[in-house]
Chains A and B, each alone.
Chain A
């Protein structure tokens, strides 16, 4: 074993924190106690690892240490907690269990914790915060910064959610077969929200908050690993990878947004494109289409085209038809209209767009503006861009729309 630097220790801890907390929540039956125990283990690691180096299985070490610290803490805090200490001793981890069995048990614990964090009795904002805190190991301060709220607000949100889990008795278990699909949807929604929040920060100066995307993809991989027979987690992971692959091409050197058609496709991350497309093919073979799988498939078609003109728009339109059939809604109809404009022309698309009740949504105005521009109606396009700019809350996107409006004036 070699010496470990503090940064290395912190990285390992961040990676293993979710596993450790999941196992300890099962052992202790309490999230706060579990977090405390894991924090104790982190303190112990910061004292020992710099000199002794990383143990062969950091996760196993953290879990065993946290468990022992929890027992010590109970003993110290008087006999009132003797029952608790007893309960912890009933869960020996190492004795007799193979590494594989232990790994399986940890996987189950993480799955339980995901479903607890994403329980529908918790508000979506609380679900996201808890998932980031307990499974991704982010600190309250990091989560607060990511969502642009004061740290005290986020701390309060997390305390309230943990209190509700404890007092209302939100269970720590994988939902039964008949409710699994709905509950998985809730988990997918949290992960996708996280990804989108990172990819297009809904407000603020930075278009992308990288670390949220990375965490969302990490959680997406975890869910695929934990629920290998569910098709939609695979679809969500593929979707995130394909969108993420375009990140290097998404902003120009001045930090301005570049839309898909204008992106330098050579900049796309090839490994992510390949992995995303491989996952989409796996989804297709399963033939149990869902919302995330179809969106992934649409993105896979875009990724297939070496240049915008080579895009297979009829196939994209067909996928949007399928998507709209299983998840009808004005936003999907708007996206479908964009594909329709490429297949049948802007006039047909504009008829559909105009019928959608989306005038509070900046992208509706942006799409209309683009269609009007292509139809040679610049004054209407100009005012549509104006409406889009007025409603858009992201600086980079707003700059892009202003630039589009300007080219209109110049032509």
Chain B
């Protein structure tokens, strides 16, 4: 089994109205339960908005900090899930279902496998 990172790309700005948001949360929770039942779910996290992010760089000895997310843009990662899947097709299927639930684009990216021995 391989592991995949499913990143949710969220447009910056105010969240959708509470009714829409409630439905999205409901759908996302239901999907997570399904992932768990299928043995595919590993981890999920939702993130605070990009305005709360800080980028740290080390230049010489001293860490330098910049306020805001690493990449400038109109969309940022709003949350992510890690799943277990047999292959990319299976991962893309979960990705498509997450895209439907969140109504947002999902980036599906394989996680490096630890080399054995």
Q: What residue of chain A has the Cβ atom nearest to residue B110's Cβ?
A: A168
Interface size class of B (residues with CB under 8 A): 10 to 19
A167 at the interface (CB under 8 A from B): yes
Q: A171 near B110 (CB under 8 angstroms)? A: no
Q: Which of A168-222 contact B (CB under 8 A)?
A: 168-171, 175
B92 at the interface (CB under 8 A from A): yes
Interface of B is mostly: mixed
Q: B110 near A121 (CB under 8 angstroms)? A: no
Are A121 and B92 CB-contacts (below 8 A) given A167-B110, A169-B2, A169-B110?
A: yes
CA of A354 to CA of B53, assembled, Å? 53
Chain A residues with Cβ below 8 Å from B86 are 169, 171
CA of A169 to CA of B89, assembled, Å? 8
Q: A169 near B92 (CB under 8 angstroms)? A: no
Chain A residues with Cβ below 8 Å from B92 are 121
B99 at the interface (CB under 8 A from A): no
A interface size (C-beta, 8 A): 8
The contact of A170 among B85, B87, B109, B112, by CB within 8 Å, is B87
A179: shortest Cβ distance to chain B, in Å?
A: 8
B82 at the interface (CB under 8 A from A): no
B40 at the interface (CB under 8 A from A): no
Chain A residues with Cβ below 8 Å from B112 are 167
B42: shortest Cβ distance to chain A, in Å?
A: 15
Chain A 131-170 per-residue mask, 1 if CB under 8 angstroms from chain B, else 0: 0000000000000000000000000000000000001111
Q: What residue of chain A has the Cβ atom nearest to residue B92's Cβ?
A: A121
A103: shortest Cβ distance to chain B, in Å?
A: 27
A231: shortest Cβ distance to chain B, in Å?
A: 25
Q: What residue of chain A has the Cβ atom nearest to residue B85's Cβ?
A: A169
B98 at the interface (CB under 8 A from A): no
Chain A residues with Cβ below 8 Å from B91 are 169
A186: shortest Cβ distance to chain B, in Å?
A: 13
Chain B residues with Cβ below 8 Å from A119 are 88
CA of A169 to CA of B92, assembled, Å? 11
Q: What residue of chain B has the Cβ atom nearest to residue A120's Cβ?
A: B92
CA of A319 to CA of B88, assembled, Å? 39
CA of A121 to CA of B2, assembled, Å? 17
CA of A119 to CA of B92, assembled, Å? 12
Q: Which of B75-115 contact A (CB under 8 A)?
A: 85-89, 91-92, 108-110, 112
CA of A169 to CA of B86, assembled, Å? 8
Chain B residues with Cβ below 8 Å from A167 are 110, 112
A26: shortest Cβ distance to chain B, in Å?
A: 14
Chain A residues with Cβ below 8 Å from B89 are 170-171, 175
Chain A residues with Cβ below 8 Å from B2 are 169
CA of A119 to CA of B91, assembled, Å? 14
CA of A116 to CA of B110, assembled, Å? 17
B99: shortest Cβ distance to chain A, in Å?
A: 14
B89: shortest Cβ distance to chain A, in Å?
A: 5
Q: What residue of chain B has the Cβ atom nearest to residue A176's Cβ?
A: B89
Q: Which of A92-130 contact B (CB under 8 A)?
A: 119, 121
B92: shortest Cβ distance to chain A, in Å?
A: 7
Chain B residues with Cβ below 8 Å from A121 are 88, 92
B25: shortest Cβ distance to chain A, in Å?
A: 29
Chain A residues with Cβ below 8 Å from B88 are 119, 121, 168-171
A378: shortest Cβ distance to chain B, in Å?
A: 51
CA of A168 to CA of B88, assembled, Å? 6
CA of A175 to CA of B89, assembled, Å? 9
Chain A residues with Cβ below 8 Å from B85 are 169
Chain B residues with Cβ below 8 Å from A170 are 87-89
CA of A168 to CA of B2, assembled, Å? 9
CA of A168 to CA of B89, assembled, Å? 10
B91: shortest Cβ distance to chain A, in Å?
A: 7
Q: What residue of chain B has the Cβ atom nearest to residue A175's Cβ?
A: B89
- Which residue among B85, B91, B110 has the maximum number of chain A CB atoms within 10 Å of its CB? B110
B80: shortest Cβ distance to chain A, in Å?
A: 17
B55: shortest Cβ distance to chain A, in Å?
A: 27
B87: shortest Cβ distance to chain A, in Å?
A: 4
A31: shortest Cβ distance to chain B, in Å?
A: 14
CA of A121 to CA of B108, assembled, Å? 10
13 contacting pairs across A/B (C-beta < 8 A): A119-B88, A121-B88, A167-B112, A168-B108, A168-B109, A169-B2, A169-B87, A169-B110, A170-B87, A170-B88, A171-B86, A171-B87, A175-B89
Q: Which residues of A contact B (CB under 8 A)?
A: 119, 121, 167-171, 175
Given A168-B108, A171-B89, 18 extra CB contacts under 8 A: A119-B88, A121-B88, A121-B92, A167-B112, A168-B88, A168-B109, A168-B110, A169-B2, A169-B85, A169-B86, A169-B87, A169-B88, A169-B91, A170-B88, A170-B89, A171-B87, A171-B88, A175-B89
Nearest first, the 10 closest Cβ-Cβ pairs linking A and B are A171-B87, A169-B87, A168-B110, A169-B88, A170-B88, A168-B88, A169-B2, A167-B110, A171-B89, A121-B88
